[in-house]
Amino acid sequence: MAIVKKSPEQIELMAAAGTVLVKTMSLIQSKIRPGVTTLELDQAAERFIRSQGCEPAFKGYRGFPGSICASPNSMVVHGIPGKYTLERGDIIAIDIGVVKDGWVADAARTFAVGPVSPIAAKLLAVTEESLMRAVPQCRPGNHLGDVSHAVQEYVEEHGFSVIRTLVGHGVGREMHEDPQVPNFGRAGSGIELEAGMVIAVEPMVNVGKHQVRMDDDGWSIFSADGSLSAHFEFTIAITADGPRVLTPWHEASGGRAAAA
């Protein structure tokens, strides 16, 4: 499949989906506390997304039952919302997809549930910062490897591991388009970025080794060594003026690195 570039008008439509997504993320953030189940978070997200005339992109995707993915602690991604009850000291990755007028926005954040261990706090800070360092690389003339390398370099400098078998992706009318966007790679390698490309950049980082395993439920991905794992994601448009984050949850109230 070729990379589908978006016009400036289409990027505006994706940004509108992103605005709803950011509001949904803020709503979920406000609900994260000990005693809340991931199903309650899922239901709140679905209600809000539908109230905005949008659809949750994940619901029914290849049979996924939830509207969000909720992945606590050593779970990396793709957690099915359910009876898991948040506990003080947990970290919880929340991944949200919103479809508005046929256009998809995709983003994730990992939250602290009350005070967390020093290593958990460091994991959240490093993973979030690795995403922030990838953003300025998303400009015409750069290569995909510049984005990947920015993530990997920062994560490994801090002693953590980027997951190899799960990657970011192009996004547009489809949630998963070309190109794949790995969180590891050589600067200057890969395709050249051009205005109109829109990519989901999503560092997934383990405290321990990079290997992962899938749970028996066929969805949940865990770190193989049981170490803590975090996930942050933006949908980013590459424009003639440079990178444009279409899902700017870091600019919302209670933005960056705000512990719940």
- Which residues of the chain form contacts with Mg ion (CB under 5 A)? 106, 200
Rounded least distance, CB 240 to Mg ion, Å = 25
CA–CA gap between residue 204 and residue 182 (Å, rounded): 10
Short-list 255, 250, 258, 24, CA closest to 132: 250
Sequence-distant (6+) residues with CB within 8 A of 211 are 223, 224, 225
- Which CB atom, from 90 or from 233, has the smaller least distance to Mg ion? 233
Q: Provide, rounded to whole angstroms, the least separation between the CB of residue 87 and Mg ion.
A: 26
DSSP state of 253: T
Q: Which is nearer to Mg ion, 36 or 247 (CB)?
A: 247
Q: Compute the distance between CA of residue 98 and CA of residue 40 in angstroms, rounded to an integer.
A: 18
**Burial grade of 8 (CB within 10 A; 0-12, 13-18, 19 or more):** exposed
Cβ proximity to Mg ion, 90 vs 106, nearer residue: 106
Minimum CB distance to Mg ion, residue 42 (Å): 17
Q: Residue 260's Cα: distance from chain center in Å?
A: 18
Q: In this complex, which beta carbon is closest to Mg ion, that of residue 36 or of residue 237? A: 237
Torsion-angle region of residue 78: left (phi > 0), alpha (psi -120 to 50) or beta?
left
Q: Please name the amino acid found at residue 165.
A: T
Query: Please, what is the minimum distance in Å from the beta carbon of residue 160 to Mg ion?
Result: 20
Q: What is the DSSP letter of 163?
A: -
Nearer to Mg ion, 144 or 200 (CB): 200
Shortest spacing between CB 190 and Mg ion, in angstroms: 18
* Nearest CA among 23, 30, 21, 86 for reference residue 58: 21
Smallest distance from Mg ion to CB 96, Å = 10
Of 42 and 106, nearer to Mg ion (C-beta) is: 106
